[in-house]
A and B are shown apart, each in its own frame.
Chain A
Amino acid sequence: LAKTTQPISMDSYEGQEVNITCSHNNIATNDYITWYQQFPSQGPRFIIQGYKTKVTNEVASLFIPADRKSSTLSLPRVSLSDTAVYYCLVGALLSNDYKLSFGAGTTVTVRA
């Protein structure tokens, strides 16, 4: 199981771009990288998922270098409502030994 490391917290201001880097040095060949967002007392919400290079959707971009040992979630032009905890997950095929769990996440605080 690939272990992930993220910064505990990040501060930003409205309109800025926020980049959160997740380290996963022992990522396996079949592992995908997934990011979730969680607001207090709510369940996490899927943001983006990727395997390699760059993935972009309407809310974020995910940059994955060639060695895949890290990945960066990019949130463009954040607003106050983007204040949340962001989780990086690395995992692959579910098997009878599925042990994928969320780490402590990165608390992003956006200020006016």
Chain B
Amino acid sequence: DGGITQSPKYLFRKEGQNVTLSCEQNLNHDAMYWYRQDPGQGLRLIYYSQIVNDFQKGDIAEGYSVSREKKESFPLTVTSAQKNPTAFYLCASSITPYLLAGDNNEQFFGPGTRLTVL
């Protein structure tokens, strides 16, 4: 089955520890994204990557880091510098990062990782 996977589904960490969230896709998509969702709120973009070995900051990149060494993988590290890391984290991918006339460039989302920092 093609799709996008995130692991683990639930993650608990102590304050001050770095933690890495996994995101893998076998859809052969060039673009990948990380979002954060807080209760009752929409999704906010943390980082995105248009192609391997390239990534850009989104709206709320402070306290996070990413890498894109492989097309299918886009791990997110939540560092101790992130002031309020407890949230629901969603990874997504799309065929390309560009939206061309007549194309349907939907983002495919993973199931999410709920991170709780104690």
Contacts and interface: CB of A to CB of B under 8 A. Distances in A.
Contacts of A94: 31, 48, 50, 97-99
Interface residues of B, number: 30
Interface of B: 31, 35, 40-45, 48, 50, 56, 58-59, 88, 90, 92, 97-99, 101, 104-112, 114
Contact of A103 (B42, B99, B108, B111): B42
Interface stretch (A12-20, A44-52, A66-74): A44-52
A46 B45 CA distance: 17
Interface size classification for chain A? 20 to 34
Contacts of B114: 41
Contacts of B108: 46
Contacts of B56: 96, 98
A43 B92 contact: yes
Interface of A: 30, 32, 34, 36, 41-46, 49, 51, 87, 91-94, 96, 98-105
Given A43-B92, A45-B109, A49-B106, A102 B43 contact: yes
A101 B106 contact: no
